[in-house]
């Protein structure tokens, strides 16, 4: 995949991309502070900060590429209250919100169905671009419907070194060519994939990408950092 195939607008330093009326963001992981606390780290609540950063994107509509929540476990009342307030305040600012269900988003449907303009989907299509979380393979319908699929899940980054050899990690988009197996996917149109950087700057990322899920059939051609450095 070359940059001329990249269907989004970007802003330097912002881990989001823009497609038509939509702002598109990767993993948010609301509630990550609890996990950090259980591991011995004292992290102040960042929920409002994450909310403000998403609202500041200023688009009419929003796509969240899964893992809105951090915990895997059943949603307890206190977490449910935090998540519902978060989504409710977003729904006041965006005309439409689509969340592609991630592997952390179990039980989220109990909250999203209470908001008229928020939907939780396995996949979503707009124009010639598909959206999903990335922990599972795309459906045959998606592969036959779009040229490009966007996903999160991997939290990709790029390590660069300065003149003194000191490494710096930069969150990035992964641009890739995709060749799905013909036997399973038939007359597929899907050619390109874009893995989004995590939106939450406080959680981890990796420059090592495992061959799992869609990545088994993908070849990364470029990495685009959030500072818009293309490698």
Other CB atoms closer than 10 Å to residue 219's CB: what's the count?
A: 11
Q: Is pLDDT at 40 greater than 80 in this prediction? A: no
pLDDT at 181 over 80: yes
Instruction: Go through the domains of the chain in sequence order and give each one's CATH number.
Output: 13-225 (3.60.21)
Q: How many CB atoms are closer than 10 A to CB 161?
A: 9
Q: Dump pLDDT digits (tens) for 53-111.
A: 999 999 999 999 999 998 888 888 888 899 999 999 999 999 999 999 999 999 999 99
pTM across the whole model: 0.93
pLDDT grade for 210, boundaries at 50, 70 and 90: confident
Round the average pLDDT of the chain to a whole number and report it.
Answer: 92
Higher pLDDT, 40 or 28: 28
């Amino acid at each position: 995949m070359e940059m001329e195939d990249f269907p989004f607008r970007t802003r330097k330093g912002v881990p989001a991309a823009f497609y038509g009326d939509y702002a598109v963001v990767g993993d948010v992981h609301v509630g990550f502070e609890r996990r950090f606390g259980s591991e011995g780290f004292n992290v102040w609540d960042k929920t409002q900060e994450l909310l403000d950063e998403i609202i500041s994107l200023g688009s009419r509509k929003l796509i969240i590429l899964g893992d809105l929540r951090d915990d895997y476990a059943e949603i307890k009342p206190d977490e449910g209250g935090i998540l519902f307030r978060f989504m409710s305040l977003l729904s006041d600012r965006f005309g439409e919100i689509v969340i592609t269900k991630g592997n952390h988003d179990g039980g989220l449907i109990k909250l999203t169905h209470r908001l008229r303009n928020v939907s939780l989907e396995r996949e979503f299509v707009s124009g010639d671009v598909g959206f999903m979380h990335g922990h599972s393979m795309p459906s045959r319908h998606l592969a036959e419907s779009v040229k490009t699929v966007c996903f999160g899940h991997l939290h990709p980054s790029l390590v660069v070194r300065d003149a003194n050899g000191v490494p710096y990690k930069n969150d990035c988009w992964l641009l890739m060519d995709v060749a799905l197996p013909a036997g399973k996917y038939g007359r597929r149109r899907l050619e390109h994939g874009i893995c989004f950087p995590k939106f939450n700057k406080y959680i981890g990322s990796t420059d090592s990408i495992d061959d799992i899920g869609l990545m088994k059939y993908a070849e990364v051609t470029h990495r685009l950092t959030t500072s818009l450095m293309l490698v």
